Structure 1
Amino acid sequence: MKEEKDEQLWQQAKARADFKKHLVTYIVTNGMFWLIWLFTGGVNAYPWPIWPTAGWGIGIIAHYFDVYRFGNTAEKEYEKLKKHNM
């Protein structure tokens, strides 16, 4: 017998799994950028990987807050209003 999934929990779990994949992709890709920089001039060359690392890092931080901190804000506000109007 299959267990019914709670749709809200399922969506939250999916969002967290997507964030983890995004984070791994960020780490691997930016690690490769820094290795390319290191092996093609390294410390004597302009550190160009700082730009994709910083730019994409802002996106990672925003994604984290969306998934772990501010997710379901509409539902939380709805619950507050529902309790207030009872």
Structure 2
Amino acid sequence: METQHDPLLWKQAKERVGFRMHLRTYLIINIGLWLIWAVTLFMIPSRPRVYFPWPLFASFGWGIGLVSHYLSVYRRGNQRDMVEEEYQKLLARQ
């Protein structure tokens, strides 16, 4: 027996799961990049020291995308309420 889903709630659930997967990937990859930087900086004595934290570029750039994804999924408000509010404003102008 198939259960019926509310299409808007189902879409919202899929978007939230998508964000959590994005966050998990961000954390795994960035932790790996920072570990590589730390290991090459402190554990390999024959390598010239590069003190600039190059993983900062990936963390910052990808972080902007991650924040944008979070805001689009969790902070957009209830779309139905926003549409109803906008509709009422348009009606009031007539």
For residues 37-48 of structure 1, the aligned pairs below 5 Å read 37-42=37-42, 45-48=51-54
Q: For the aligned residues, what is the CA RMSD?
A: 2.2
Identity %: 41
Which residue in the other structure is 1:76 paired with?
Answer: 81
Q: Deviating runs (4+, > 3 A) in structure 1?
A: 81-86
Which residue in the other structure is 2:18 paired with?
Answer: 18
CA displacement 1:26-80 (0-9 Å, x = unmatched): 000000000000000158521000110000001000000000001654x433211
Compute the TM-score of the two structures, normalised by the length of structure 2: 0.78
Unpaired stretches in structure 1, ≥5 consecutive residues: none
Larger radius of gyration: 2
Aligned residues: 85
Unpaired stretches in structure 2, ≥5 consecutive residues: 43-48
In the alignment, the residues of structure 1 paired with residue 23 and residue 32 of structure 2 have an alpha-carbon distance, to the nearest angstrom, of 14
